[in-house]
Amino acid sequence: MKDIDKEIYEIEQRLHGREALIKQTAADTKRATIRSLKSPLAIGGAVVLGFLVAGRIARPKARPQPAVSQETKEQSKGFALGTLLMTGATWFVRSQFGGPVGLAQWALAKMKNRGQVNPRPPAYQ
């Protein structure tokens, strides 16, 4: 039992020693950083870097204007779609009715026959 207690004590001593070393290194690093930041060269470098960064952020980026606005593009898409639909409708009218006159005659015939009841077809003999 005493051997285990001795090992635990040794491990705790090593951990405390490493902890003290880490704290001492952090304190040394902090002092060195503060000392270097107080130098005129470091202050001047920070000022120049600050101006460069601020100038880069504050300057608006010149974006080239598009040759055609987005609104015009949307209108063009609508016109193109309308043109395709009109072409399809014209093809359908010509193939079904022979042309616009045939469509008009068909529509008039439908309107005339709307109120009439279709008689029964004659029976075949």
Domain ranges of the chain: 2-58, 82-114
Q: Which residues of 3-28 are buried (b: 16+ CB within 10 A; e: fewer)?
A: eeeeeeeeeeeeeeeeeeeeeeeeee
| Phi, psi for 70 (deg, rounded to 5) | -65, -35
Euclidean distance between CA atoms 30 and 23, whole angstroms: 11
Band (38; pLDDT cuts 50, 70, 90) = confident
User: Across the chain, what does the average pLDDT equal?
Assistant: 83
Worst-scoring range by mean pLDDT, 49-53, 56-60, 77-81, 93-97? 56-60
H or E element, residue 110: helix 100-112
What's the pTM value of the predicted model, to 2 decimals? 0.35
